[in-house]
Amino acid sequence: MSYRALHRLGAAEIAAAVRGGAVSCEAVARAFLDRIAEREPAVLAFEHLDPAQVLAQARQLDKLGRDGPLLGVPVAVKDIIDTRDMPTAYGSPIYAGHRPVRDATCVALSRRAGAIVMGKAVTAEFAVVHPGKTRHPVDPSRTPGGSSSGSAAAVAADMVPLALGTQTTGSTIKPASYCGVVGYRPTFGTIRCSGVMESAGSCDTAGLYARTLEDISLYRDVLVGTEPVPIAGDTPAPRIGFCRTPQWDRVDPACQRLFEDAAARLARAGAHVTEAELPPEFDAAEEAHRLITSREFVLNFAWEIEHRWSDLSPALREGKIRVGLDCSHERYRAACRQADICRNRLDAVFERYDLLLAPATTGEAPVGTNTGDSSLCSSWTLMHVPTLSVPVFTGPAGLPVGVQLIGARGEDRKLFAAARWVYRKLAFPAGKRRPLQADTDPRPLNGGW
């Protein structure tokens, strides 16, 4: 096995190679550190990185002869997730140099499975909107998205095969779409968030990044504390609901055509594809999410608002904090009731579908440092359903655009299997990797499904 090729391997491949004696944990760590040294100056994905500490972890694993499903696998951890041996600053100067006393649950489970924590990945301030330093790994003039910017960019740049992020609005799915990797937001409550800074507890989840669905499935099983189970290999053509959410008009027209064409291609490949009719209450889900998450945020950060106001960014003060302070408890409770109604109505929609297909973002990563529009994700986050962003499209500027695949609550494994079927049909036409290209011709699509 070529030492220089190690950084191109996925998590399952690395762990198998280490367990089989083909390579040591230290050799894997050195290969990825070399890759980081090559790409990090342009991408700026890491908030904290100590090569000596990385190598010490790897040598300890080799010395102890440990085993595990992630043995020797490098992992980046978003900097709102506590690590006992690395600073966790939550993307804020208020907590510069802060040292937690214990690992977050997701970090502890990663280490128990044999993973090497490479460092802390850049996050937006308190995982909200004010961007960090990370740049898009393909085009540095563009945003990688946020708030899990460093985690997505590190995986996209082959600096790690796995990364931990979080999502309260679109913080995992959006960066995955922009950067061209697989992003997964699990069913709410599936992965424990102990040791993860709380933004809005009604919506917060961990988020996972990888280059393949198989690695996402593997990492998910590690973090729910179960024996890893491969994605089902005999999945029939799924029932797919093509979903034009209330935010459809915000999607770039060229990307709208990509999604419409994808639905037609999937139907020709054998899937049962129909337009999904969402319950009328869904029209109010975006606003309900905005009120719930903003109100919970200002309660969670009452101390920082009271005592460190000047250290909060203007974007945070005039955005989420202002909305949260203006939202009464009565409006908050009404929004929570609206969310409950929507979730129950959406359960009925999934009686007709195996998954829903919808845009992950409004289009390609925009130019500038703004983290982008999360509105294509917020309603699904509020619904507590599992979602994936899978890289199958190429936009007008030649940059990645992900498709968002949504499953029923608690049906994460079923979503993985259906998503792999969709991915293979869209990303490998005629057996070759050729993501669908955006049609810049303004004429509408002919035909349909």
The H-or-E segment that residue 402 falls in is strand 400-406
Distance CA 361, CA 381 (A): 14
Q: How many secondary structure helices (H) and strands (E) does the chain include?
A: 15, 12
Long-range contacts of 427-434 (CB under 8 A, 24+ apart): 427/390, 427/391, 427/392, 429/265
Distance CA 341, CA 320 (A): 24
Distance CA 261, CA 13 (A): 34
Q: Which two tokens stand for residue 118?
A: 């490479």
Distance CA 366, CA 342 (A): 31
- In our burial notation (b when 16+ CB lie closer than 10 A, e otherwise), range 408-422 reads bbebbbbbbbbbbbb
Is 171 tagged catalytic?
Answer: yes
Say how many CA atoms lie within 13 Å of 91 toward its Cβ: 32
Is 141 tagged catalytic?
Answer: no
Catalytic, out of 110, 149, 171, 374: 171
Catalytic, out of 147, 148, 151, 313: 147
Number of residues in the chain? 449
The H-or-E segment that residue 175 falls in is helix 173-179
Q: Are 263 and 241 in contact (CB under 8 A)?
A: no
Active-site amino acid positions: 78, 147, 171
